[in-house]
Chain A
């Protein structure tokens, strides 16, 4: 009896050992790759790129996991606290800056110096914190205008606004004639840089917001608000601009072309009355660009393989293929020159035309977020101050002084 038991144990041990042995033979370099909300829509694409990479680099195995965008911060921070960050991860710009400042990411200026000039310079900048770039830019979207042709025609206009002054002029007519809103103020931190008012100085050491131009803008916003041109619900974020657009309560809305389809989803008749146009450029002739980045964890045990994979994922060929699947733009210059992006030039469909315009806007695209760690809190300060000016009659000059002081405290 005892012998039987013993032999069973020995057998079990041998089995485990043999598995361990097989495991150690297979254990080549394994890297983990996290993406944000790309599964299941892009399963085929991502798996295809991974398969191509593995075929090109025998001995490297990529494990892919997709994280819902809404909880990415919690997921990543928990993993970082437990030293469990994936080797390669897809991060949005705000969060990238936090992790970069913590020293959790690999310096790409050095690690990817050989491919740096493949990307648009204004977009490469997105990964910068205090002078170091911590990520490769991946897919990007910039914002352009979707507008309601019917509403503009009813108010007596034959096209969308092209300058800031014109846009407010048109908002006034729309509001007085039809009770419909035009310009809305949602992200003041993106409006100010368009007119040359940067929140933080270029070296990231001090606040740069308190300028005469900013004061003029704040005063103008107050004037428009008092005329009733700026709806409280959108200012306070209680309603979504895209939903208001679908309900024909605003005549134009500035957003990424990938979200135009959501109007089609919510209100097909409004979508068919819509067309696309350039975002109003402002005095600096720039538009903001939202960049998705790929970063490599500095705790990664296989940094070389991880950097190699990050470069592969963001190269021209793979980015172009990705752009063809959905309304996004590549961050690599070579991919953006493809004829695919000029196809929608004469389309009457808002999303197709928008796709063409978005690619045309790439030359104006810059990441307008301040290149500092606390950028999320700084943006909040500025937005809170403008709300105080509009809703609580705070003096614009005082609001700017307060914003300057609060930003300096964070730097």
Chain B
């Protein structure tokens, strides 16, 4: 009895410690967000950088949001972001899983070589390829167009790797029985393999969506017409050359954050599931 008590006490201490760490972690992750939210709601006569910080606004107001909404064409920026996101999610998902399928399930000469070459591109930092890609886009006449933003990230080594791992985890027997039933390769990919890796596709889609939604530098480099700017770039205009109104910037940040939060909450289930399955099958 005493022994059992001892163990459960040790376990209790352990649990308390773990929860304490997790709470602290959650606290530090959430603080900047809470500060931004509270700043965006503060009225013009409230102190922002007080120490210790005050998180509850004394006179909460939605005025900053109203100002942001009227000074910038938010719906247009939002529309631009959505268009970019649709293509920057769907194209990589299709192209990467098409490329990953033969690398995972077929045997052909030079397969490993091809895979290694693709993987090697992951080692090159984006900053190095930025100017060459920009020059290529100029030569193709794609500067200033949405295609110029979408094409450079339409397929990437990371996505191919992720999808290859997913396809490799499917038992060979399923493939064999499908062959006996008379599928061709296209049908194999479309009707057997693709539906089986849905969790991984969800993970990949969410990652791509976050990347696309938060992309800043590349859209800024490519677009020449401010009407084409996505939310991130458009909202940056709130930082003026002379005065930056911190309340407006905070309100703009919250506006840009909302869609990504919604997406995350809706797809959370797939996100965790996908993360698990890709880890186990590695």
Interface, chain A (partner B; CB < 8 A): 36-41, 65-71, 74-75, 77-78, 81-84, 243, 246-247, 258-259, 261-262, 265-269, 326-328
B47 and A38 contacting across the interface, CB-CB below 8 Å:
no
B72 adjacent to chain A (CB < 8 Å): yes
Contacting A at CB under 8 A, from B190-245, are: 216-217, 220-221, 224-226, 233, 236-237, 239-245
- Number of chain B residues whose Cβ lies closer than 8 Å to a Cβ of chain A: 35
A259 and B243 contacting across the interface, CB-CB below 8 Å:
yes
B220 and A268 contacting across the interface, CB-CB below 8 Å:
no
**Given A78-B131, A84-B143, A267-B50 in contact, is the A37-B241 Cβ separation under 8 Å?**
yes
B138 adjacent to chain A (CB < 8 Å): yes
A327 and B239 contacting across the interface, CB-CB below 8 Å:
no
Residues 240-253 of chain B, each 1 if its beta carbon lies under 8 Å from chain A, else 0: 11111111000000
A261 and B243 contacting across the interface, CB-CB below 8 Å:
yes
Q: Which residue of B lies closest to A37 (CB)?
A: B241
B114 adjacent to chain A (CB < 8 Å): no
A68 and B245 contacting across the interface, CB-CB below 8 Å:
no
**How far in angstroms is the closest Cβ of chain A from B61?**
15
**How far in angstroms is the closest Cβ of chain B from A117?**
28
**How far in angstroms is the closest Cβ of chain B from A371?**
24
> Which residues from A are CB-within-8-Å of B49?
243, 246-247, 266-267
State in angstroms the CA–CA spacing of A268 and B131 once bound together: 45
B138 and A82 contacting across the interface, CB-CB below 8 Å:
yes
A39 and B134 contacting across the interface, CB-CB below 8 Å:
no
Q: Which one of B130, B143, B233, B241 has the greatest number of beta carbons of chain A within 10 Å? A: B241
State in angstroms the CA–CA spacing of A66 and B220 once bound together: 10
B51 adjacent to chain A (CB < 8 Å): yes
State in angstroms the CA–CA spacing of A266 and B49 once bound together: 6
State in angstroms the CA–CA spacing of A268 and B50 once bound together: 11
State in angstroms the CA–CA spacing of A262 and B246 once bound together: 9
Q: Which residue of B lies closest to A263 (CB)?
A: B49
B71 adjacent to chain A (CB < 8 Å): yes
Interface, chain B (partner A; CB < 8 A): 44-51, 71-72, 130-131, 134-135, 138, 143, 216-217, 220-221, 224-226, 233, 236-237, 239-247
B48 and A267 contacting across the interface, CB-CB below 8 Å:
yes
Q: Which residue of A lies closest to B245 (CB)?
A: A265
**How far in angstroms is the closest Cβ of chain B from A176?**
22
State in angstroms the CA–CA spacing of A246 and B51 once bound together: 11
A265 and B247 contacting across the interface, CB-CB below 8 Å:
yes
Instruction: Select which of B48, B131, B236 is within 8 A of A68 by beta carbon.
Output: B236
**How far in angstroms is the closest Cβ of chain B from A149?**
18
B244 and A39 contacting across the interface, CB-CB below 8 Å:
no
State in angstroms the CA–CA spacing of A75 and B217 once bound together: 8
**How far in angstroms is the closest Cβ of chain A from B55?**
16
A39 and B226 contacting across the interface, CB-CB below 8 Å:
yes
> Which residues from B are CB-within-8-Å of A66?
226, 237
B242 and A258 contacting across the interface, CB-CB below 8 Å:
yes
**How far in angstroms is the closest Cβ of chain B from A351?**
10
State in angstroms the CA–CA spacing of A124 and B48 once bound together: 39
> Which residues from A are CB-within-8-Å of B71?
40
B244 and A262 contacting across the interface, CB-CB below 8 Å:
yes
25 A-B pairs whose Cβ atoms sit less than 8 Å apart in the complex: A37-B240, A37-B241, A38-B241, A39-B226, A40-B72, A65-B226, A69-B241, A70-B236, A77-B131, A81-B131, A82-B134, A82-B135, A84-B143, A246-B47, A247-B50, A258-B243, A259-B242, A261-B243, A265-B44, A265-B48, A267-B48, A268-B44, A268-B46, A326-B243, A327-B242
Instruction: Select which of A243, A266, A267, A326 is within 8 A of B242 by beta carbon.
Output: A326
**Given A82-B135, A82-B138 in contact, is the A75-B224 Cβ separation under 8 Å?**
no
> Which residues from B are CB-within-8-Å of A84?
138, 143
Given contacts A37-B240, A40-B237, A78-B131, 11 further A-B contacts (CB under 8 A): A37-B241, A65-B226, A67-B220, A71-B217, A75-B221, A77-B131, A84-B143, A247-B49, A258-B242, A268-B44, A327-B242
B243 and A262 contacting across the interface, CB-CB below 8 Å:
yes
B243 and A266 contacting across the interface, CB-CB below 8 Å:
no
Q: Which residue of B lies closest to A63 (CB)?
A: B224
A68 and B237 contacting across the interface, CB-CB below 8 Å:
yes
Q: Which residue of B lies closest to A327 (CB)?
A: B242
Q: Which residue of B lies closest to A38 (CB)?
A: B241
B241 and A65 contacting across the interface, CB-CB below 8 Å:
no
Identify the 5 closest CB pairs spanning chains A and B, nearest first. A37-B241, A258-B242, A82-B135, A68-B236, A82-B138
State in angstroms the CA–CA spacing of A146 and B239 once bound together: 22
B47 and A269 contacting across the interface, CB-CB below 8 Å:
yes
State in angstroms the CA–CA spacing of A81 and B131 once bound together: 7
Instruction: Select which of A39, A68, A269, A327 is within 8 A of B220 by beta carbon.
Output: A68
**How far in angstroms is the closest Cβ of chain A from B38?**
14
State in angstroms the CA–CA spacing of A77 and B135 once bound together: 12
**How far in angstroms is the closest Cβ of chain B from A342?**
21
Q: Which residue of B lies closest to A249 (CB)?
A: B51
State in angstroms the CA–CA spacing of A259 and B143 once bound together: 36
State in angstroms the CA–CA spacing of A296 and B274 once bound together: 53
State in angstroms the CA–CA spacing of A305 and B45 once bound together: 48
> Which residues from A are CB-within-8-Å of B217?
71, 74
> Which residues from A are CB-within-8-Å of B131?
77-78, 81-82
**How far in angstroms is the closest Cβ of chain B from A244?**
9
> Which residues from A are CB-within-8-Å of B233?
68
Instruction: Select which of A259, A266, A326 is within 8 A of B48 by beta carbon.
Output: A266
Q: Which one of A75, A265, A328 has the greatest number of beta carbons of chain B within 10 Å? A: A265
Instruction: Select which of B47, B72, B134 is within 8 A of A268 by beta carbon.
Output: B47
Q: Which one of B44, B49, B246, B247 has the greatest number of beta carbons of chain A within 10 Å? A: B49
> Which residues from B are CB-within-8-Å of A267?
47-50
